[in-house]
Amino acid sequence: MRLWSLHPRYLDTQGLVALWREALLAKAVLRGETRGYLHHPQLERFKAHPHPRSAMNSYLATIHGEALQRGYNFNRSKVGPVRKIPSIPVTSGQLAYEWQHLQRKLAMRSPDVLSHWAGVAVPDCHPLFRHRPGLIASWERASSGA
């Protein structure tokens, strides 16, 4: 499961569809509707939020909005109510790690998308998140080369 801290605009079609599915799975986990993925590290920051389900709805709403801009037909009813909620902090180290990770994926499966974003040195984060200085998140399963 990869719940990107990056804005979904950077994802290729395969990545955006996968993110939608994985965020819906995460929503099911937070609602207690599945027994799998209960302790997945990517969910820690959502579980720590004062309103985990609302945070996930906000996360999904941005993915849905990106899908609409691209002309995709993601089911809006799966998002749920979106309320004004506190943002989730994300560190510069985490964003840099994810940006490198995404660039490696795009190099293999969508070089044209990688080329489109070649001029981006510091990517935007998903609107649910608030950028702050810091290292890679403790929950990230970073490779030793990160």
**pLDDT at 23 exceeding the cut of 80:** yes
Q: Tell if the pTM clears 0.85, that is, is over it.
A: yes
Domain boundaries, the chain: 8-132
- Stretch 29-47: mean pLDDT: 87
As a whole number of angstroms, the distance between CA 2 and CA 49 comes to 18
CATH architecture of residue range(s) 8-132: Orthogonal Bundle (1.10)
Would you say 121 and 91 are in contact if contact means Cβ atoms under 8 Å apart?
no
What's the pLDDT band for 11 if we cut at 50, 70, 90? Answer: very high
Please give the torsion angle defined by the CA atoms of residues 34, 3, 79 and 21, in that order, rounded to the nearest 10 degrees: -60
Q: Any idea which residue has 């950077």 for tokens?
A: 10
| Confidence at residue 143, expressed as pLDDT on a 0 to 100 scale | 60
Would you say 97 and 140 are in contact if contact means Cβ atoms under 8 Å apart?
yes
**Percent of all residues in the chain with a pLDDT value above 70, rounded to a whole number:** 97
| Confidence at residue 145, expressed as pLDDT on a 0 to 100 scale | 45
